[in-house]
A and B are shown apart, each in its own frame.
Chain A
Amino acid sequence: MDHQQPPWSVSGSSQSPRSPSSQPYLHVSVIDPVKLGNGVQAYISYRVITKTNLPEYQGPEKIVIRRYSDFVWLHDRLFEKYKGIFIPPLPEKNAVEKFRFTAEFIEMRRLALDIFLNRVASHHELRQSEDLRTFLQVDEAVMERLRAHENGLFKKPVELMQIFKDVQSKVSNVVLGKEKPVEESNAEYEKLKHYIFELENHLAEAQKHSYRLVKRHRELGKSLSDFGKAMKLLGSCEGDSLGKAFSELGAKSEVVSVRLQKEAQQLLMNFEEPLKDYVLAVQSIKATIAERANAFRQHCELAETMKLKEINLDKLTLTRSDKMREAETEYNQLKQANEEAKRRYDDMVRLMNEEIVRFQEQKTLDMGVAFHNFANGQARLANNIADAWRSLLHKLESC
Chain B
Amino acid sequence: MMGAENKGHDYEEAHLFASKEEMESLLLHEHPFNSNSNGNGNFFSSYGSAMSSSLPDSHHPLSSSVATAILTDSDPLLSPPPYPELHGPSSHDNSYIEPPSYADVIFSPFHGEDINSLESPSLSSINSPMSFSRTSSSNSEYIRITVSNPQKEQETSNSIVPGGNTYFTYLITTRTNIPEFVATEFSVRRRFRDVVTLSDRLAESYRGFFIPPRPDKNVMESQMMQKQEFVEQRRVALEKYLRRLSEHPMIKKSDELKVFLQVQGKLPLPTSTDVASRMLDGAVKLPKQLLGESTVAPHEVVQPAKGGRDLLRLFKELKQSMVNDWSGSRPLVVEEDKEFLEKKEKMHDLEQQLSSSSQQAESLVKAQQDMGETMGELGLAFIKLTKFENEEAVFNSQRARVLDMKNFATAAVKASRFYRELNLHTVKHLDALHGHLGLMLAVHSAFTDRTSALLTVQTLLTELASLQSRSEKLEAASSKVFGGDKTRIRKMEELKETMRVTEDAKNVAIREYERIKENNRIELERLDKERRTDFLSMLKGFVANQVGYAEKIANVWGRVAEETSGYVKESI
Give A contacts to B, CB under 8 Å. Answer: 5, 10, 12-13, 15, 19, 23-24, 122, 124, 191-192, 195, 198-199, 202-203, 205-206, 208-210, 212-213, 216-217, 219-220, 222-224, 226-227, 229-231, 233-234, 236-238, 242, 245-246, 249, 252, 354, 357-358, 360-361, 363-365, 367-369, 371-376, 378-379, 382-383, 385-386, 389-390, 392-393, 396-397, 399
Contact = CB atoms under 8 A, between A and B. Distances in A.
Contact of B532 (A220, A238, A363): A238
Contact of A393 (B384, B547, B553): B547
B547 A237 contact: no
A386 B558 CA distance: 14
Interface stretch (B70-78, B225-233, B329-337, B538-546): B538-546
B547 A12 contact: no
B353 A382 contact: no
A358 B382 CA distance: 22
Interface residues of B, number: 80
List the 6 shortest-distance A-B pairs measured between CB atoms, nearest first. A368-B567, A382-B554, A386-B550, A375-B560, A372-B564, A379-B557
Given A199-B388, A202-B384, 15 more contacts: A202-B381, A205-B384, A209-B374, A209-B381, A219-B370, A236-B353, A242-B535, A245-B536, A249-B539, A363-B397, A371-B567, A372-B560, A378-B415, A379-B561, A393-B540
B368 interface: yes
Interface in B11-26: none
A174 to B, nearest CB: 40
B340 interface: no
A386 B367 contact: no
A372 B550 contact: no
A155 to B, nearest CB: 33
A1 B377 CA distance: 42
B370 A203 contact: no
B381 A372 contact: no
A24 B542 CA distance: 60
Nearest to B47: A361
24 contacts: A5-B571, A5-B572, A195-B392, A203-B385, A206-B378, A209-B381, A213-B371, A216-B367, A223-B366, A224-B364, A229-B360, A230-B356, A242-B536, A358-B59, A360-B394, A360-B395, A365-B47, A368-B564, A374-B560, A389-B546, A393-B543, A396-B540, A396-B543, A399-B536
B349 A371 contact: no
A386 B554 contact: yes
Contact of A372 (B50, B55, B354, B567): B567
B371 A216 contact: yes
Contacts of B389: 199
B181 interface: no
A189 B566 CA distance: 33
Tell me whether chain B's interface is mostly helix, strand or loop, or mixed. Answer: helix
Contact of B375 (A213, A233, A237, A396): A213
A122 B564 CA distance: 24
Given A19-B53, A220-B367, A376-B561, A234 B543 contact: no
B543 A392 contact: yes
A219 B401 contact: no
Contacts of A209: 374, 377-378, 381
B496 interface: no
Given A191-B392, A375-B557, A205 B400 contact: no
Contacts of B395: 357, 360-361
Given A209-B378, A382-B553, A389-B550, A365 B570 contact: yes
A389 B547 contact: yes
Contacts of A358: 59
B353 A227 contact: no
B55 A206 contact: no
A386 B568 contact: no
A208 B354 CA distance: 38
A389 B553 contact: no
B535 A375 contact: no
B553 A237 contact: no
B230 to A, nearest CB: 30
Interface stretch (B133-141, B403-411, B453-461, B462-470): B403-411
B350 interface: yes
